[in-house]
Every structure is written in structure tokens, then in C-alpha cells.
Structure 1
């Protein structure tokens, strides 16, 4: 099962915080209550350490590297516990390792569950050879049944993680699609700028070619107009490439909302009042929208419009420092030239982009 590093890290921390303390508490409790001598504690502790190691590697999605040695150690501890420690809970390590490993198998999980339950029950029966009066339920039924239950819960957990993975992959595809839509829109803007100009230039060049001998002054005028058209087109293309073209803020707000919702990101827009420099703020919003879709694993975005500018906050930022964002860097100077300030900051996994005018 593969997740992005950010999601894998969150799931790992969640599992460690919620389950690891409980497993450790059970291990210590059993070691204290079920043993009388130090060597009995050592036997149980070895199996419990194997279980904790397997669990820690499982949270890191790296169980395959340690599952065999952990299983072997736990499988040795159970018969030693049955025969020498007078403890019916030595199966705990084998139960934990098995319940983590079996759901990871691509096939044969049912057969493996049956074999593991049979192994636990069969080893538990050995207790009768050294203590005929032993509690058969505690040594045979409880280990087998609890292990099967643990495996069933683990299988359900694996299915939950699979659903999370599918949702994450769907979100990634939606974000990629949103970026593609943005590129298509950029291509449309570029076509609007250059398509008509190139067609006019072609016609004027053809006309100038025909007039070059019959009417040189007219041909020269056509060439001057061609030069002016090309210069203007170059300027507009640069403005488009560096997000300096005048935009409508309301249109950009609606477009950003549609893009985020298509990518599965919750959006909240707070409009306190109409801000100044609306076209320039539209450029900031467009660039920030693209950055969020491309570089963050966001679940929500909050856009606030006020009398002095715009603030865009999104979660899902995995870094500790502010990255270099060339698009926003290019806009920072334009905002400053208009008497404003464009800032970016990171705090608690949230990335804030703010453009304010005094």
C-alpha cells in the first residue's frame, strides 16, 4: 500500500500515538502479573519486544523486513511460556505479529489464519503434559480465538487504509486535472493574444509584398504596423507568462472555488469588504491556486477578502520553511510597486499567502 510521504507520516504518527502506548501497557502488565522470577520475565519480554518491533515497522510500512525474525522469536516464546513459565499469555507476541502480517498477504490469508490458530491451540495443549490440571480454555481456546479476532480487526483496518489510499489517489488525479484545466485556460489566453495578431500579420505581410514595388510608401506603412503588432503581442505574452495580465477578481474567485472543489478541497470564502487593486489580487489568487494544487496536500482553503487585500490559508504543507515560489516572487515586486506587500508564511502545517495594500 503506497501513500504520499505526508499521508504516510500522518498515519504513522496516528498509529503510534493511539496504539503503541496500549501495546506497551499490556506488555508491561502481563510481564508483572504473569511471572514470578526474572527468567520468566525474560521469556515473556522477548516475545513482547518482537511484537513491538513488528508493530513499529508496520506503522512505517516496512513490516516485510522484520516479519520473519519477529514471527520466529514469538513462535519460540509461546511453547517456552507454556512449558516453563506457567503463563497462558505468552501467545501475545505471536498474536500481534500474526495479526499484522497475515492481512498484508495477497492470498492464502484464510488458510494462514487457520494454521496460526491451530499452532497456538496445539502448543497450548502441551501444557497438559506438564500440568494435567491446567485450564484448557486459557491455554487453548483463548489464544486461538483472540488471535483470529485480532486478524479480523487488522483486515478491516487494511481495508480502511485501502479506502484512504483510493481517496488520496482520486484527490491527486483531480488536482492534476485541475492543473491541466489551468494549462488549457493559459493556452486559450495565449491563443487569444497571438492567434488574431498572427493572422493580421500574415495578411499585412502579403499586402506589403505586393506593394513593395508599386507603392513603396504604403508598403513601408504596412511594415511599421506589423512591427507595432508584433511588439504589442510580445508585451502581452510576457504579461501572461509572468501573471501580469489584468484579471477580474470575482471571476478568479469563482474559478479557484471550482478548481479546489474539483480536487476534493473544502473552500471557505469570507468577504468582509471589497479590496483595492482588484486585478492584481486576481493574479495573486490565480498563482496561489496553482501552487496549492501542484505542491500541497490540502484538505481546506480559506480565502478572506478585506478592505486592505486578500489572505489565502491552506493546510497540507509538509515543510518547515517557506519554499521558493517563482510565480509569487515575480508578483511581489508588482504588489510593492502599487503600494502593497505580498507575504508568505508557514505555521503548524498551514501555508498563508497574503497581499495587502495600505
Structure 2
């Protein structure tokens, strides 16, 4: 447990709510901790030393400096503990040196004068409080060393006085101060540990909410990429084809441009559906779309479906993920290959759906090193659903193979909005 920086909780004499605490359930805990730790500490000092100051048997020369030191120690202790109990504990804060010097000086007076009168039950109260306050500002490893060293040192002053005066109270003078110190530390650090833990849990809650928003943005970006990337690639290819045909075959060019118009309308409709959160890519739609698009650019697309792509045992998630694989494979063929033939093989065996897409257009292109970001991100999504995505090159052939349980759950995380694989 360590100190934290932030707005001082007792500005203008009031414990004020931090902005992150409103509605988080921490306000009551912080107020309770404030009154428990600084309040109890101040009461402890005032109760023990107040009775000693009012004792008529104690000479005036001893009571006056103790009274002054008590006021200084109470103020310094309250400030030091208040600095630690901040509304938004987000950063480390050093132990204020000025207030530390003040509390050490006051503690010295509060310990020395009662010890000089052999009051073994009182002299260790102020040092115990000071040690506890200092411990709150230290990390666990250094705090442990401080407490062990302070407990051992607390046995020495009383023992020395008892041995010197021969009053026969050596066990009490030796052990009671050490026990009092450990009890005081436990009383102070316990509520502060609970407060620190609650603050960390609240920060984790806020971080979880922020991550949920970012995940949703990534999901939207991924879905938008899946739609726009594919549609725009097909539109570009068909527009290029129409430009080439406009002089030699105006009728065919007009037909291609009508399809471009239709694709543009589909892209706009799908984009609006993504914004509304309704659209979901499906395998059967992507296989049908791939066959039509590849045929339009002169690629022979052969499909083998065992059983039909609309197999009822597939969950929506399985259909969606395999549809994304089919779309990515089709986009790769259009953008990065010189393919003349493409084979699509889909089948369901033993509760596993397998999709294989191959083409013969690698010849003459740079060898793939498997660094395609689109396939890598899809592979991560399939692995999250207990599936697998592999791709390899064999001569002039490039093949993508995906496998996925038919009962894949709907908890697949979104993938980054990366572009298609570059081969």
C-alpha cells in the first residue's frame, strides 16, 4: 500500500467527493476511513496524553512542553494521513518532508518526557503513531523493514530506563512498547489497506468500461472493413473492365456498369446495416457472391458443397466466421493473383465445418511469407472459437483452409480492421 496524489480530501475542513467516486459507491467508504484512521489517531493521542497533561502529580515544566508537542503532533498526523486519503488515488505521492519533521520533533518530546518519569505505558504511543503514518507512504518491502526495525528498537528505551533505575519492571518496560507499536500499526494500516483495495477495484471497473467501448469500436471497424473492402475492390475491378469494353463491346460495358451501380447500392445498404448493428456475413451468401464475381472477371470458380452450405447444424457464429474467410479469400484472388481457376470445397464432417479455397494464380508473383495481416487476424478469431485457419503455397497454387466446430459460440472477439493479405 502506497501513497497517492490527487486533490486534498480535507480542503476547507471538509471531506469532498472525487469525481470518480460519485456513483461508484466509494464515498461512504472514504468518509468512514477518514473518520476511522485520522479521527481515531487524533483521539488516541489526545486521550492518552491529555490525561497525563491534566495529572497534578506531573510537574508543570513537563506538562507545558508535552501539551505544545501534542497539539503539533495532532495537526501533523491529521495532515499526513489526509494527504494519503485522496479522492482519486492514481499516482504515488512522496511523504511531505516538512510535516514529517514536525511530527518527529513533536514525537520526540512526547516520548522523552513520559519516559523520563518511567511512564512505560505512555511514552511509546506517539512513536507508534508516527511509525504507522510513515509506513502508509512506503511500498510493502520497505514498510516491512521499517516495522521490524521499529518494533525491535521500541524494546530498548524502556529496558534501559528500567535497568538504570532498578524499578523491577523490566519485562513490562521492554515488551509493552513493542506490542503497542504493532497494535497501532495494525489499527492504522488495516482500514487504509481496505480503502486502497477499493480504489484499485474502482479503477479496474472504470478501465473495464473503457475497454468495452474500445472493443465495440474495433468490432465496428472490423465489420466496416469486411464490407467496404470487398465491395470497393469488386467495384474497382468491374469499373476497370467496363472501361476496357466501352469501345469494343458497349453492351457488355453497360452491363458491367449496371452491376457496379448495384454493388454500390449494396455497399451503401450493408454499411447502414452495420451502423444499426443488424448485418452479419454468412457463408452461403459469400460462396454465392464469390462464384458470381469470379465468373464476371473470367475466373472459372468450381464449388463442392458436402452437405449444402446452409447446413442447419452451423451456428450463426460459424457461418459468420467462415463467410469472412470466404470473403477474404475471394478478395485476395481478385487483388493479388493471376488465377484462371479457383476451387471452393466446403463440407461438414464429425461436427467440424471445413472450408478450402485454392487458386492457380501464384506463378510469377513474389513468394508469400505468410505475413498477411487479414489472414492473421481471421486466424486469431477462428482460434478464439476453437477453430483453425491455415494457408500455404505449392508451386503456382495458393490454398486457404479453415476449420471450425459447427457449434462455435457467439463470444468471438473482434479482429483489427486490417486490409487483405498481400501475397
TM-score using structure 1 length: 0.52
Distance 1:224 1:246, change over 3 A: same
Extract unaligned runs of 5+ from structure 2: 7-17, 55-59, 281-423
1:83 aligns with 2:116: yes
Deviation at 1:161, TM superposition (A): 6.4
Aligned residue number for residue 177 of structure 2: 143
Deviation at 1:140, TM superposition (A): 4.3
For the residue of structure 2 that corresponds to 1:204, the secondary structure is helix
Distance 1:23 1:35, change over 3 A: same
Does structure 1 conserve the Cα–Cα contact (< 8 Å) formed by 2:69 and 2:109? no
Does structure 2 conserve the Cα–Cα contact (< 8 Å) formed by 1:46 and 1:77? no
Distance 1:154 1:18, change over 3 A: closer
Q: Deviations over 1:189-243 (max 9, x none)?
A: 2134324422431342243133211232542453354245336535654675xx4
Aligned residue number for residue 51 of structure 2: 33
Does structure 2 conserve the Cα–Cα contact (< 8 Å) formed by 1:50 and 1:71? no
Deviation at 1:147, TM superposition (A): 0.5
Q: Deviations over 1:251-271 (max 9, x none)?
A: xxxxxxxxxxxxxxxxxxxxx
Aligned residue number for residue 49 of structure 1: 75
Distance 1:157 1:221, change over 3 A: same
Aligned residue number for residue 149 of structure 2: 115
Deviation at 1:27, TM superposition (A): 2.8
1:21 aligns with 2:52: no
Distance 1:114 1:189, change over 3 A: closer
Deviation at 1:146, TM superposition (A): 1.2
1:201 aligns with 2:235: yes
> Hey, which of these two has a bigger chunk of helix by percent?
1
For the residue of structure 1 that corresponds to 2:53, the secondary structure is coil
Does structure 2 conserve the Cα–Cα contact (< 8 Å) formed by 1:30 and 1:89? yes
Extract unaligned runs of 5+ from structure 1: 249-358
Aligned residue number for residue 65 of structure 1: 96
CA RMSD, Structure 1 to Structure 2 (Å): 4.4
Deviation at 1:182, TM superposition (A): 1.9
Does structure 2 conserve the Cα–Cα contact (< 8 Å) formed by 1:27 and 1:48? yes
TM-score using structure 2 length: 0.45
Does structure 1 conserve the Cα–Cα contact (< 8 Å) formed by 2:270 and 2:279? no
Number of aligned positions between the proteins? 246
Does structure 1 conserve the Cα–Cα contact (< 8 Å) formed by 2:246 and 2:253? yes
Give, in whole Å, the separation in 2 of the partners of 1:64 and 1:232.
Answer: 64
Give, in whole Å, the separation in 1 of the partners of 2:250 and 2:228.
Answer: 28
For the residue of structure 2 that corresponds to 1:19, the secondary structure is helix
Select the residue among 99, 112, 116 that pairs with 2:132: 99
Q: Highest CA radius of gyration, 1 or 2? A: 2
Distance 1:114 1:180, change over 3 A: closer
Distance 1:138 1:57, change over 3 A: farther
Does structure 2 conserve the Cα–Cα contact (< 8 Å) formed by 1:124 and 1:139? yes
For the residue of structure 2 that corresponds to 1:89, the secondary structure is coil
Deviation at 1:154, TM superposition (A): 5.6
Aligned residue number for residue 216 of structure 1: 250
